[in-house]
Structures are given as C-alpha cells and as structure tokens.
Amino acid sequence: MKILISDPLAAQGVQIFKDQGFEVEVKTGMKPDELKQAIKGVHGLVIRSATKVTADLLAAADVLKVVGRAGTGLDNVDIPAATAKGVIVMNTPGQNSNAAAELAMGHIFALARHIARGTRGVKEGKWEKKQLRGTELKGKTLGILGMGNIGRILAELGTGVKMKVIGYDPYFSAEDIKARGAEPVSLDELLARADFLSIHVPKTKETAGLFNAATLAKMKKGAYLINCARGGIVKEEDLCDALTSGQIAGAALDVFEVEPVPADSRLLFSDDLVCTPHLGANTHEAQVNVAVAVANQMSKYLKTGEAEFAVNAPK
C-alpha cells in the first residue's frame, strides 16, 4: 500500500511508514491539480495545515482509505465528503498541546511587559522605558475559553505564576473544569472577569466570529486577548476598533483570518498587538510527536482496521 505525504513531516514519521512496509512518497507544495494526479493509487494521505482535502480531491482518489492530520485542526478537510467517500479522517490530539500552551503563555508575558515593542524600540535606537510600564501577572485573572488539553496545560502554567484561573467550556462539566485547574464560569462571566483571556477552541460554525464587536464590548475594560487557536474566531476589524478605543489594552495573535497577513492589514499598524506567524505547534518536539503519532495511527488502521482518533465513521 502507498502513503503520500503532502505536507512537511518529521523524518521519524516517514521512517515508521517505511519500517511498516509501506511505499512512501513525500511530495510537498503541490498545486490542487498536481495533488489530484498524485492521489491516484494512494491508500493513505498525510497532511498538516497546508493541504486542502476537498470534495474534488476526494473524488479523484481511487483507493484512498485514510487521511491523517499530523496535528489537531481539521478545518482544511471536507469531513462530510470524506465520510461519503468511505475515507477515515484522523488527527493526533494532544501531541502539540504543550507547545501551543507555552506559546500562549509566552504571549501573555509579552503583552504584560511590552516585550515585542520594547525589542523593536531598542533596535530602532529608542529607549521607551517610561512609556512601557507593564503589569505583573501575579494576582491577575487568566480566563481560558476551551478547557481541552491545551487549556488544561495553560491553566497549570497560569497557576504556576500565581494567576487566578477561570475557565469556560460547554463540553465539560463544572467538576471536569475544576479538575483541569480552573474555576468554572459562564461565557459572560469569563468575558467580564478575565484580565487575560486566551482562546483554545476549534473553529466551528459556533465559534467563527465569536469574538466580534459585541463580545469584545463585554470584556473587562483594559483586558488582553490572546488567540493561538484558529484564525477567524476573532473578527480582526472589530479587534482593531477595540484596541483603538482602549476597550482592549492589547492582543496577541498567532492565527489570522488570512495567512500570511496582508501587508495593508490594520493589525500590523497597532502598537498594542503582538503577533507570530502561526507558531503554535512549531517546536522540534511537537513536530516529532505529531509525525510519530500519525504514522503509528495510520499504519495500525491500514493493517488492522483499528482507527484511533478518527473523527468520522464511514459506513
């Protein structure tokens, strides 16, 4: 059986497929038409965030059995089309959670102490010591939207610097949220109380545009917003307005509505914004973790039919 790896994957994952006896082709950066040709004769497709698994691509697949995402997010996969085609879709939850949580915590520190602006100023010959008075995290309230693996780890990190941690997640009970290190609250209470609010939910119909003008207006005035989850959960124009008005003291984004960010985006002209180019899972450790996990999961499925972390159930 043949495995096609269409996005960069750590060598350890590639080797697992080879050791399991699969024919492996690594071909990244393909255009859609090229991918439609390459998918023929392929039993397993390994992707990250770049490859778009569309209904059109699935229609071109003749023997495809499984799509494996080396990571968590699946907004680049047409899951209903895969299900209709009889193709299993699986991801590797938890393998990059620590990396994403640490980045979110890093953004919180950067916002509190003006690290990005301070760095830029010094390099430009400025000495903005008086202008960049920061705030300490000790005693502040960290609000976490989404108490899954990443939210749980961030709660531990926040507690470690003596922040008060509150959390909201409609899919966990109050007892579960407490067990994950946060005081359970409603969404409105999360918005009203958090000094730093960090988003850790997938992009769905319910969460797309969740942070808009109305939501931002409900946040504690002078709070900070961090999004290391998915672009499109925060409406960027509304965020810019909230930053300009002072409703939000600062924001940190690792993900954006359009990536790469357009050069004329208002976001890029805000001194109160810290941003990184979608680095959430981009650590050496996380890259190896997701590669090994997806290779093991896909190999097991293709050989035994056992599908770990499948998100659909084709008939």
Q: What are phi and psi of 64, to 5 degrees?
A: -65, 130
Confidence of residue 73 (pLDDT cuts 50, 70, 90): confident
Fold of 97-275: Rossmann fold (3.40.50)
Fold of 2-95+284-304: Rossmann fold (3.40.50)
- pLDDT mean across residues, the chain: 96
Short-list 97, 226, 224, 115, CA closest to 153: 97
Where would I find the H helices in 166-212?
Answer: 174-179, 187-193
| Residues forming the active site | 230, 259, 278
Residue 231: the pLDDT is 95
Answer whether 2-95+284-304 and 97-275 agree in fold.
yes
Q: State the average pLDDT over residues 148-153.
A: 96
Q: State the average pLDDT over residues 307-315.
A: 93
- Cβ atoms of 149 and 93 closer than 8 Å: yes
Domain-by-domain residue ranges, the chain?
Answer: 2-95+284-304, 97-275
15-48 in b/e form (b: 16+ CB < 10 A) is ebbeebebebeeeeebeeeebbebbeebbbbbbb
- What type of residue sits at position 119? T
Cβ neighbours, 10 Å, residue 221: 11
- Report field, pTM of the whole predicted structure over 0.75: yes
